[in-house]
Chain A
């Protein structure tokens, strides 16, 4: 699985831009890989994501290790497509058939998947959720919705920790939660899900009390103490966004490889 991908404070690269610029960049990446049919464009976008990771002070080794499941799944997608498509020129025939169309479709699928995941992870690593919530409020979205985002991010590490503790408790008490058959599955769900659910509900109650206890929801609007200002780095990101859109449009129009 993808291990511990969460925002941490930084001062380089995309850490310096406003959260809305990061949203824009993420949209640019997604549009580029979903609209453009070109493999080269997708490869370029993937390399751009890796480059931005480096510029933002993230370690590529750590990133690859955290996303090895995603990379592996990308390879599986490539192989599955390459071996399942029979149309096109046959390149290899050894009991199984590999065609040029199969390879292209596999590469398309794998790169699309890799870019969507890697750019999303890049976004999570460099975007402060609190600032993002404020930015969303700043553009006029009601604060009740923007806080859903912050709260969900607060709950991710909590559930990760709780899950581990519950599994440890099962181990200490000698409970076998291996899944053998439907009964085993049900028992595993009951022994793991119920304690997690109880923890989650208790936490939700406390946080709700804490928020209402500080007048959350008293007025239709609230002050945004930290206002985001558009800076030079944000213009650079905007330029990159436009470049991504233009490249995608050109690749589509002229059917680049």
Chain B
């Protein structure tokens, strides 16, 4: 369907260099985005995808200091002398983290926030709110407090809030990155509905490309801030040819029999403020074993890791750990675990490390040459690899990893996998919480699904139980084949 009154965006030789960086985030990018089209922007971590989105909306350089060269035209008009708030009447940006873009305390108010700023009449504001809540499938949440919503619900509120501005271009910057498969599926469905309505131009930054193929998008592939490939239409084979779809066919050698389990979770129950998260949860984790923990947002996956790390106490039951008392634990947000002034000192918090060893570790983690860099100046993906490398360097018998793959491109994911397999050979038991179902299903020896019901066992067995229970979004076939 064509978009009659859409907005045409023209980008001419756009280069962006952040104020605190020497290298450019974008180098001479030129592109034309026509009304009504779906453009998918992809590429490895740090390739400039988010920078492009923020530059189009003029948040760079208006709010994020950067040196910008080149030109962006909206309907032939340069945005150089236009404020970002004016651009926002045509271009709406949905950010990655659903939690940090909500600025009021109630869903209805949140969606009304934009139209109120446009000084529309009360009747018009109400009409837009009702319409957009319905489009995002969240009319039932209108009276809810925003703090009580799940990640998926918050992201749908964020989309409804942008739609209420009636922009002609909607930019979605990795909108599903922090969402569970069910939440991600809902967001992909909303995007497809928007495309079918034909009123919007969609610019989507995504790593999970397979579900987007049904929208017949155009593809723009960035690497190192430059456009390295363009495709006017994309199919499954293109993704493979461009290295955008990795088949994680990981072979897991049989583990030697062990006499004692590294971890024994024995009839553990836990809940918050009277709401149970899990009851009588029991399982054993053997040396070298990798256990994948999957389930919807808020089902207690992170809480389980916290219980095992003794950051919480179970309401009943016990958790017994064999071997050394320390664990290697990486949190979802890496900056919360970073305390020192340089990367080298950050490693030394957990014990001394030789110059040669440090160099080796950093090179593997694609952090070479950053020994003396302030860790908080690294990108989020780099920070996550740093905290992962530090957790590994503790040589604990137990690793707890909370979403280690978010924001990592295929190369970095391969490095993390290789390290986990090496740790597996050395007898380190690992628990991995992840929403990347195909990867978890391939990497792990066994799976634990936490949700309204708990499924635990060999991965094929658990995946088959999930299929039978109607939870197809939590099975790899949904993401690899059905969507294709």
Q: Which residues of A contact B (CB under 8 A)?
A: 7-9, 128-130, 147, 150-151, 153-154, 157, 162, 165-166, 168-175, 190-191, 194-195, 198-199, 202-203, 205-219, 221-227
Whole-angstrom distance between the Cβ of A203 and the nearest chain B Cβ = 5
B72 to chain A, nearest CB (A): 16
B337 touches A205 (CB 8 A): no
B329 close to A172 (CB less than 8 A): yes
B152 interface residue (CB < 8 Å to A): no
* Contacts known (A195-B335, A209-B95, A214-B113); A130 close to B104, Cβ less than 8 A: yes
In the assembled complex, 16 residue pairs joining A and B whose CB atoms fall closer than 8 Å, in A order, are A130-B105, A130-B109, A150-B103, A150-B105, A169-B331, A169-B339, A175-B349, A205-B64, A211-B103, A211-B113, A213-B57, A218-B89, A218-B117, A219-B117, A222-B116, A225-B109
Q: Which residues of B contact A150 (CB under 8 A)?
A: 103-105
CB–CB B117/A222 < 8 A:
yes
Tell whether, in the assembled complex, residue A203 and residue B336 are in contact, meaning their CB atoms are under 8 Å apart: no
Residues in A whose Cβ lies below 8 Å from that of B465: none
Task: Say yes or no: is B6 at the interface (Cβ < 8 Å to chain A).
Answer: no
Closest to A211 in B: B103
Question: What CA separation (Å) do A203 and B98 show in the bound complex?
Answer: 11
CA distance A190 to B122 in the complex (A): 48
* Distance, CA A203 to CA B326, complexed state (A): 31
Among A8, A174, A225, A227, which residue has its beta carbon within 8 angstroms of that of B112? Answer: A225
Residues of A within 8 A of B129 (CB): 225
Does the CB pair A216–B101 fall under 8 Å?
Answer: no
Q: How far is the CA of A36 from the CA of B350 in the complex (A)?
A: 59
Q: A216–B117 contact, CB under 8 A?
A: yes
B59-A203 in contact (CB<8A): no
Of A168, A206, A209, A214, which one neighbours B114 at CB under 8 angstroms?
A: A214
Instruction: Determine the chain A residues whose CB is within 8 A of the CB of B117 once the complex forms.
Output: 214-219, 222
Do A162 and B336 touch (CB < 8 A)? yes
CB distance from A75 to the nearest CB of B (A): 29
Docked pose: A203 CA to B103 CA in angstroms: 11
**In the complex, given contacts A150-B103, A216-B85, A225-B129, what are 7 additional A-B residue pairs having Cβ atoms less than 8 angstroms apart?**
A130-B109, A173-B337, A174-B326, A194-B339, A218-B83, A218-B118, A225-B126
- Choose one: A190, A213, A215; the contact of B59 (CB below 8 Å): A213
Q: What residue of chain B has the Cβ atom nearest to residue A221's Cβ?
A: B119
C-alpha spacing A133/B419, complex, angstroms: 51
Min CB distance, A190 to chain B, in Å? 7
Instruction: Say yes or no for B54: interface residue by CB 8 A criterion.
Output: yes
A225 in contact with B101 given A130-B106, A169-B337, A209-B95 (CB within 8 Å): no
Whole-angstrom CA separation of A188 from B381 in the bound complex: 27
Task: Judge whether B100 and A173 touch: CB under 8 Å.
Answer: no
The contact of A169 among B103, B104, B161, B336, by CB within 8 Å, is B336
Asked if B84 is at the interface of the complex by the 8 Å CB criterion, the answer is yes
Chain B stretch 85-132: residues in CB contact (< 8 A) with chain A: 85-86, 88-89, 92-93, 95, 97, 100-106, 109, 112-122, 125-126, 129
Say if the beta carbon of B327 comes within 8 Å of chain A.
yes
The residue in chain A whose Cβ has the minimal distance to the Cβ of B165 is A214
Contact with A along B396-424 (1 / 0, CB 8 A): 00000000000000000000000000000
A161 nearest CB across to chain B (Å): 10
Chain B residues with CB under 8 Å of A207's CB are 100-101, 103
